[in-house]
Amino acid sequence: MTFFTSFSSLALLIVVIAIATYLFSRRKVTQAAAADHVKPHSLARYYGLYAGAWALLPAFLVLVVWTLGSQPFIDANVQTLLVQAYPDLEKGFLDLKLAQVQNIAAGLIESQDETLLKLADDYAEALQQASNLRTSIVLLAMLVAVIYAYRRVSPALKARILFETLLRRAFFIAAAIAIVTTVGIIASLLIEAVRFFSQYGLLDFFFGTHWSPNVALREVAAGAADEDVGGSTGSFGMLPVMAGTLLVATIAMAVALPIGLFAAIYMAEFASKRVRDVVKPTLEVLAGVPTVVYGFFAALTAAPFFRAIGLNLGLDVSAQSALAAGAVMGVMIIPFISSLSDDVITAVPQSLRDGALGLGSTRGEMVTKVVLPAAFPGLVGAFLLAISRAIGETMIVVMAAGVSAKLTANPLESVTTVTVQIVMLLTGDTAFDSLKTLSAFALGITLFTATLLLNIAALTAARRLGQRYE
Amino acid sequence: MSNVVQKLGAKKRAAIIEASLKKRHAKERRLRAYGVAAIIFAIGFLVTLLSTVIGNGYTALQQTQVKIDLEIPIAKLLNDEGQFDEKRLRRYGWGSSIKKSFRTNFPDVTDRMAQRALGELVSANAGFELRQLVEAAGPEATLPTSFWVKTSDDVDMLMKGRMDRNLPEQQRRLSDQQIAWVDALVADGKIRKVFNTTFFTAADSREPESAGILGAVVGSALALMVTVILSLPLAVMAAIYLEYFAKPGKVTDFIEVNINNLAAVPSIVFGLLGLSVFLGFFGLPRSAPLVGGMVLALMTLPTIIIATRASIRAVPTSIRDAALGIGASRMQAALDHVLPLAAPGILTGTIIGLAQALGETAPLIMIGMVAFIVDVPTSVTSPATALPVQIFIWADSAERAFYERSSLAIVVLLLFLIAMNLTAVMLRRKFEKKW
């Protein structure tokens, strides 16, 4: 029985029925056309596709919506049962119990607790009922749709036009997913961030100079939060975190900008084609290395290396210095800057170069006095995109930068960044709607806004370059 | 300036120009030298990175084992029907009998503390693995009287030269006495190094010597499967819409802006989206490759859309015009005539997008694929981790032996990436058409 109610087997069943519908509808129309000696409006396959789409889409829609939508209902039901069973437990413990019940029901863990076992039985039964109901409703929806479509199939039906309209709409929806994703990102971040700001002052967050979220583990009634900021509820002043992010990003840009730019200039203006053909793909390899690998290198090779140098010079370099994280991040960004700059430099019209050389300038002068100024807006665009990359980069700083927020500009010290804090706040066991986890979303929306603005600025700058020489 | 130069004699003038030219050429040479230095730095870093990872990782291909003389009373483990009895298997002291046998190598060690220190040389999982070996051999098998079992990771590190014997005793994980025991065993020929199959056939473990990447590789494969199933059709549909059906206007512009912007959104933001929407709102299971794949699909969507549009545009318009001219509908021209010709390019773009997705770590951490999971995942909803996340977890562990395994896992990850990118390049070479 469970075989017919599991998601994958039900999906398989739907596909099989849809294929059958395709075949039968196609046969129906060819036979009808032959019997009546008429030519069908569309090619035979379109009748099959038309009916097949009717078989497939409503059923799949119901299946997915039901699957995604029913779980919260069942959980809510069990939750009320849990509240009845344990009337005086706190919410966090209730969630824990719910997870226990789910695991017992799934047979993952065993328990001797009678109440829990009873709840788990109820839960398993509710799940079973829900999936039985799902199978019946999906199959019913399918049956209705298939009968409707199969009856409509006849040589006179404009099947191709109907099917192509459907496809066009589906294509539009696929394209609109980009919008849905953006809206989803903004909405999900904003909703949680608003919940955070309803408990914590906006100004305190953006201009506070003290960041220590971990105190928030001792949960206090939300009302006390306003009176006692920085006390028992933890404090969420993001300035030190922002400062750390900017410090690491600045170090990264200090490494990536000169190296990336000089490499791009050399490759675009001086290198022979043979050198270019070798060097360009090699730099792209650097871009293809996953960030976790850079993080590994930064934490376990670069950081001890900088520390050893510091020791020789009599400097105290932290084991998780901003320098190590920033420098390795800079190397990660080199190919990004060099390939963008390369594109921008080669986009400068040849006539400008010819003019400069014709007036007797050396190639070097041509580059520094003509090509680079002409490419300047595009280079600014590349630079801004690279900064956006640097502040959004996560793994390198999670592995190589610190976790404690300090308001410092010393690259030898350990700093923390926005992305590190998001990861720290949302991994580990905390109630999902504590002030601590909500603050991660406030950081998230700040990060998203910052990168969005940088990207828009970069696009505007690049567009200005395009307008100059079109 | 030029006036001044002109007033001078021809010889002097030539000398000044010569000098200034020299300066100007030197400037140009400097510019070139900076470029060369920049490129050398970048390539040098790449070489350092790769050699560090390989240099640290290759030793994880071997595992140290120690020889144990042990006769297993197989009759005691069987029930009346001659099959293994679960209860008896469980009750037999696998670990303790290994330790007891191991101690016979050093009969003069009688002190409790010393015996414990001696026991620490053998892997904590050796008993469990011996039991699996016996069970796999079957109840009728004649078992050998000596077994090679894994040593602890500390002995492994010592044997591979990853532990500095010259350090003061307190800074080492093995005491002088323990090292002396190991040396005695080596002299007896009771220690050997073999190929580390566990690394490729096991999932994660608390003990480095029992940890492997199979669970993470399967988790990554499942997530990527979900990614490609979701993102490839959606991306192709979106690209066809934007190339052939979208009417120029605000909606289309807005879609394009969104696609371009999504390509530049930090990956961790996608993780936040997955956490609050897929896990929080829809209640999908935590740590599941299904959710990981969905998040990665949203991330790779822009990449594949952009690649698909480029390869659709590369198909000459004459193909489409000819199709339309002989009466194909716009949809037929797009799907039956342009799309097959654009397919190799789309495939190349998809593989490159998937290679990026394979290396992504941060969003997967956000949706809980960072958990400690000892089982190889069997479905897209079972808890799993992914290869890059496994690297992250191991790199964070204190044991030196995990560091080595993390490096080797990086090598494996890079090999997968190289394979994918080479496939993409070869596809492009093979099917690239000059129209």
List chain A domain ranges: 2-157, 236-468
Q: Is the dihedral of CA A427, A428, A431, A437 positive or negative?
A: negative
Report how far residue B247's alpha carbon sits from residue B241's, in angstroms, rounded to the nearest whole number: 9
Q: Mind giving me the DSSP string for B98-139? A: HHHHHHTTSTT---HHHHHHHHTTB-TTHHHHHHHHHHHH-T
Q: B197 and B223 in one domain? A: no
Say if B262 is an interface residue toward chain A (CB within 8 Å): yes
Q: B230 and B150 in one domain? A: no
Please check the confidence at residue B7 and state whether its pLDDT lies above 80. no
* Structure-token match 């290994």, residue found: B98
Q: Could you report the per-residue pLDDT of B133-156, keeping only the tens digit for each?
A: 888 888 777 788 888 999 999 999
Q: What is the DSSP letter of B194?
A: E
Residue B17 in tokens: 């120009």
Q: Residue A179 contacts by C-beta under 8 Å, 6 or more apart in sequence? A: B254, B255, B258
Count structural domains, chain B: 3
> Closest Cα of chain A to B97: distance in Å?
30
Q: B222 and B145 in one domain? A: no
Report how far residue A352's alpha carbon sits from residue A371's, in angstroms, rounded to the nearest whole number: 7
Report how far residue B45's alpha carbon sits from residue B57's, in angstroms, rounded to the nearest whole number: 18
Q: What is the mean pLDDT of residues B254-261?
A: 89
Residues of A in contact with B47 (CB under 8 A): none
Q: How many CA atoms lie within 13 A of B183 on its CB side?
A: 9
CB B364 within 8 A of CB B271: yes
Question: Which residues does residue B64 pair with via DSSP β-bridges, in sequence order?
Answer: B193
Chain-centroid distance of CA B215 in Å reads 11
> Closest Cα of chain A to B187: distance in Å?
34
Rounded CA Rg of chain B: 32
Report how far residue A137's alpha carbon sits from residue A159's, in angstroms, rounded to the nearest whole number: 27
Residues of A in contact with B364 (CB under 8 A): none
CB A458 within 8 A of CB A389: no
Mutate to test the interface with A, among B48, B245, B252, B272 (most CBs of A within 10 A): B272
Q: B46 and B81 in one domain? A: no
> If we measure between CA atoms, which residue out of B240, B249, B360 comes closest to residue B295?
B360
Please give the C-alpha separations between residue A258 and each of A266, A341, A410, B49, in angstroms, as whole numbers. Answer: 12, 11, 21, 21
Q: B101 and B35 in one domain? A: no
Report how far residue A55's alpha carbon sits from residue A26's, in angstroms, rounded to the nearest whole number: 14
Report how far residue B21's alpha carbon sits from residue B24's, in angstroms, rounded to the nearest whole number: 5
* 3-class SS of residue A211: strand
Determine whether the interchain pair A185/B45 forms a contact, defined as Cβ–Cβ distance below 8 Å.
no
Query: Could you tell me the CATH number of the domain that includes residue B425?
Result: 1.10.3720.10
Report how far residue B83's alpha carbon sits from residue B74's, in angstroms, rounded to the nearest whole number: 10
CB B242 within 8 A of CB B334: no
* Burial environment of residue B3 by CB neighbours within 10 A (0 to 12, 13 to 18, 19 or more): exposed
pTM over 0.95: no
Residue A452 in tokens: 């969005």
Residues of A in contact with B268 (CB under 8 A): 392, 394, 419, 422-423, 444, 447
Say if A147 is an interface residue toward chain B (CB within 8 Å): no
Q: Is residue B291 part of a domain?
A: yes
Q: What is the pLDDT at residue A229?
A: 42
Tens-level pLDDT at each residue, chain A (470 residues): 355 567 888 889 999 999 999 999 999 999 999 998 888 899 889 999 999 999 999 998 998 888 877 777 777 777 777 777 777 777 667 777 777 777 777 766 777 777 778 888 888 888 888 888 888 899 999 999 999 999 998 898 999 999 999 999 999 999 999 899 999 999 999 998 999 999 888 888 888 888 887 654 444 444 444 444 434 467 888 899 999 999 999 999 999 999 999 999 999 999 999 999 999 888 888 989 999 999 999 999 999 999 999 999 988 888 888 999 999 999 999 999 999 999 999 988 999 999 999 999 999 999 999 999 999 988 999 999 999 999 999 999 999 988 888 888 888 888 899 999 999 888 865 556 678 888 899 999 999 999 999 998 988 887 776 666 65
Residues of A in contact with B388 (CB under 8 A): 290, 292
Q: B48 and B14 in one domain? A: yes
Q: What is the pLDDT at residue A231?
A: 41
Q: Is residue B209 part of a domain?
A: no
Q: Which amino acid is at B96?
A: S
CB B303 within 8 A of CB B395: no
Q: Residue B5 contacts by C-beta under 8 Å, 6 or more apart in sequence? A: B13, B16, B17
> Helix A303-313 crosses helix A322-346 at what angle (to 10 degrees)?
110
Q: What is the mean pLDDT of residues B312-320?
A: 92
* Phi, psi (rounded to 5 degrees) for A321: -70, 150
The helix (H) or strand (E) run that includes residue B97 is: helix B94-103
Provide the domain limits for residue B42: 2-57
Report how far residue A52's alpha carbon sits from residue A41's, in angstroms, rounded to the nearest whole number: 18
Report how far residue A159's alpha carbon sits from residue A152's, in angstroms, rounded to the nearest whole number: 10
User: How confident is residue B356, by pLDDT bands cut at 50, 70 and 90?
Assistant: very high
Say if B230 is an interface residue toward chain A (CB within 8 Å): no
Q: B151 and B139 in one domain? A: yes
Mutate to test the interface with B, among A79, A261, A292 (most CBs of B within 10 A): A292
Nearest CA in chain A to B413: A290
Least confident of A22-31, B58-67, B96-105, B216-225: B96-105
HEC string of B354-377 equals HHHHHHCCHHHHHCCCCCCCCCCC
Q: Is residue B188 part of a domain?
A: yes
Q: What is the DSSP letter of B247?
A: P
CB A50 within 8 A of CB A158: no
Q: B269 and B193 in one domain? A: no
* Strand order, beta sheet including B62-69: B146-150, B62-69, B191-195
Q: Which of residues 176-215 of A touch B (CB under 8 A)?
A: 176-179, 181-182, 184-185, 188-189, 191-192
Determine whether the interchain pair A448/B414 forms a contact, defined as Cβ–Cβ distance below 8 Å.
no
Q: B264 and B169 in one domain? A: no
Q: Residue B171 contacts by C-beta under 8 Å, 6 or more apart in sequence? A: none
Higher model confidence: residue B212 or residue A128? B212
Report how far residue A22's alpha carbon sits from residue A283's, in angstroms, rounded to the nearest whole number: 51
Mutate to test the interface with A, among B17, B21, B23, B39 (most CBs of A within 10 A): B39
Determine whether the interchain pair B269/A444 forms a contact, defined as Cβ–Cβ distance below 8 Å.
yes
* Number of CB atoms found within 10 A of residue A282's CB: 14
* 3-class SS of residue B62: strand
> If we measure between CA atoms, which residue out of A72, A71, A93 comes closest to residue A82?
A93
Least confident of A75-79, A155-159, B120-124, B201-205: A75-79
Residues of A in contact with B283 (CB under 8 A): 68, 71-72, 75
Residues of A in contact with B306 (CB under 8 A): none
Determine whether the interchain pair B269/A175 forms a contact, defined as Cβ–Cβ distance below 8 Å.
no
Q: What is the pLDDT at residue A470?
A: 56
Q: B184 and B119 in one domain? A: yes
Final residue of a domain: which of B202, B231, B246?
B202
> If we measure between CA atoms, which residue out of B104, B133, B132 comes closest to residue B119?
B104
User: How confident is residue B219, by pLDDT bands cut at 50, 70 and 90?
Assistant: very high
Determine whether the interchain pair A266/B39 forms a contact, defined as Cβ–Cβ distance below 8 Å.
yes
Q: Is residue B358 part of a domain?
A: yes
The helix (H) or strand (E) run that includes residue A176 is: helix A159-199
Question: Which residues does residue B193 pair with via DSSP β-bridges, in sequence order?
Answer: B64
How high does pLDDT run on average in chain B?
A: 89
* 3-class SS of residue A380: helix
Report how far residue A217's alpha carbon sits from residue A234's, in angstroms, rounded to the nearest whole number: 8
Q: B406 and B257 in one domain? A: yes
Say if B364 is an interface residue toward chain A (CB within 8 Å): no
CATH level 3 topology of A236-468? MetI-like fold (1.10.3720)
Say if A413 is an interface residue toward chain B (CB within 8 Å): no
> Closest Cα of chain B to A157: distance in Å?
17
Q: Is residue B207 part of a domain?
A: no
Q: Which of residues 330-389 of A touch B (CB under 8 A)?
A: 331, 334-335, 338, 362-365, 367-368, 385, 388-389
Q: B121 and B53 in one domain? A: no
Residue B358 in tokens: 């394979």
Residue A141 in tokens: 């929806």
Q: What is the pLDDT at residue A92?
A: 67
Final residue of a domain: which of B22, B40, B57?
B57
ipTM for the complex?
0.91
Q: What is the pLDDT at residue A317?
A: 84
Residue A165 in tokens: 């309209």
Report how far residue A39's alpha carbon sits from residue A32's, in angstroms, rounded to the nearest whole number: 10
Q: What is the mean pLDDT of residues B324-349?
A: 93
**How big is chain A, counted in residues?**
470
